[in-house]
Amino acid sequence: MKEYLFEVCANSVESCIAAQAGGANRVELCAGIPEGGTTPSYGDIVIAREVLQNTRLHVIIRPRSGDFLYSPIEQRIMLKDIDNARRLGADGIVLGCLTADGEVDIPLMEQFMEAAQDISVTFHRAFDVCRNPQKALEDIISLGCDRILTSGQQPTAEAGIPLLKELQLQAAGRITLLAGCGVNESNIARIARETGIHEFHFSARETVASRMQYRKERVPMGATVQINEFERNVTTQERVKATIAQITE
């Protein structure tokens, strides 16, 4: 039987705890999930490191939502965040940056790789909006990244199966492909079978209602990203176990 690894996209320390209890090998700790994931707080990283005893902790380094073309001041912030994550005991970081014409920004990535020192580096789904995925794969391999988180340049990994399969063959064991976005109990087995990929990234979240009794629902806290502020989505142990079980039992 193939050896699979499972990474849970954790939006909180609560989700980290559930991921570990459900059998995840790794968590990617993020804030700002409605925006695609941004760098978590100092406190989140510290407490996540405290509670994760058997599960590796990777921290996303992304100062804002939107594109992956970063200004000089954003680059400085990212370098500080990489140093912070490493000093606080993260096992790895997750990041990616592109040039204005959609290529991997190799000089900037080299700075980030140097700042990461000896911890693991995953190039995230900036890969999915690059100009040429085959060239980007080679560029990322040359940088020394450990893996690429990708949906095969499609909205979901299931839709991206054709390119994921092609990239897995091209990688030829030189780098790990981590299939993510929309991976769940119903499709993880198909993705594994049709692509040959053995690492998977998923959230396994469920909606939890707020415990607030008094609610003023017509006063939103956000302007551009509208969410129901009296419910939240958290990873559950049960869904993590159920997803993993699809290809391990």
Q: How do the pLDDT tens digits run along the chain, 249 residues long? A: 469 999 999 999 999 999 999 999 999 999 988 888 999 999 999 999 999 999 999 999 999 999 999 999 999 999 999 999 999 999 999 999 999 999 999 999 999 999 999 999 999 999 999 999 999 999 999 999 999 999 999 999 999 999 999 999 999 999 999 999 999 999 999 999 999 999 999 999 998 888 888 887 777 766 656 677 788 889 999 999 999 999 997
| pTM of the predicted model as reported, rounded to 2 decimal places | 0.93
* Cβ within 8 Å of residue 155, ≥6 positions away: 181, 182
* Domain residue ranges of the chain, discontinuous segments joined by +: 5-248
β-strands 199-202, 205-209: how paired?
Answer: unpaired
pLDDT of residue 2: 66
Task: For domain 5-248, give the CATH number.
Answer: 3.20.20.380
CA distance linking residue 157 with residue 187, whole number of Å: 9
User: Distance of alpha carbon 204 from its chain centroid, rounded?
Assistant: 13
Identify the bridge partners of residue 178 per DSSP, sorted by sequence position: 149, 199
pLDDT of residue 7: 98
**Is the distance from CB of 201 to CB of 179 less than 8 angstroms?**
yes
